Copies of this chain bind each other. A is one copy, B any other.
Amino acid sequence: MSGLTHIGPDGRARMVDVGDKDVTERVALAHGRVHMQPETIQLAIGRDTKKGDPIAIAELAGIMAAKRTSDLIPLCHPLPLSSVKVEIQPDSRANALIVTARVKTSGRTGVEMEALTAVSAACLTLYDMLKAVDKAMRIDGVELLEKTGGKSGDYRKAGT
């Protein structure tokens, strides 16, 4: 018994059967951050135009990526999402932009991967938008903060 649900008793990868699970409301919250030079943060947040804003573009990329999760992660179930929110905030002390994603569904399996995928895509998009001035940015701390709904019980990151 491997304990890995995506591996069957015969050792094969599978999209695990969730047909017997209840349709319940499931929520997942994840975050991550992109470390960068203080000047890069200022460039990212200091724009005085409504258009071409790296932060708004990265938030949108995160939302769109959440919808593509089952295309990217081989054994993820396709799920009809009922809500996706992505929020990017500067953390000046940490010299980072913090990305948070909250995803909801009414379905038979959780949306942890959708929340983590949204965070990752938003971080990658920040990198892409800002790389002309700073190639040494680093994506760190992408992790699940909280998940609710479903039989396996709720999860909350230790210390939060």
| Residue ranges of A at the interface with B (Cβ–Cβ < 8 Å) | 2-8, 10-19, 25, 32, 43, 47, 49-57, 59-61, 63-68, 70-87, 104-108, 112-113, 116-117, 120-121, 123-125, 127-133, 135-144, 147, 155, 157-158
* A79 (CB) vs chain B CBs: closest residue: B80
Are A4 and B133 in contact, CB atoms less than 8 angstroms apart? yes
Whole-angstrom distance between the alpha carbons of A56 and B12 in the complex? Answer: 8
User: How many copies of this protein are present in the complex?
Assistant: 6
Known A4-B132, A53-B51; judge A15-B120 contact (CB<8 A).
no
Complex Cα spacing A104 to B135, Å? 18
Q: A5, A82, A129: which has the most chain B beta carbons within 10 Å?
A: A82
Tell whether, in the assembled complex, residue B140 and residue A6 are in contact, meaning their CB atoms are under 8 Å apart.
Answer: no
Decide if the interface of chain A is mainly helix, strand, loop or mixed. Answer: mixed
Given A19-B106, A135-B147, answer yes or no on A59-B13 (Cβ-Cβ < 8 Å).
yes
Q: Complex Cα distance A60/B58, Å? A: 11
Q: How far is the CA of A105 from the CA of B18 in the complex (A)?
A: 9
Shortest distance from the beta carbon of A72 to any chain B beta carbon, whole Å:
5
Cβ-defined partner of A143 (8 Å) among B64, B76, B80, B139: B139
* B124 touching A116, Cβ below 8 Å: yes
Give the interface centre of A2, A63, A72, A123 by most chain B CB atoms within 10 Å: A72
A84 CB contact (under 8 Å) in B14, B131, B144: B14
CA distance A53 to B13 in the complex (A): 7
Q: Could you list 5 examples of A-B contacts with CB < 8 Å?
A: A13-B57, A64-B72, A68-B72, A73-B125, A77-B81
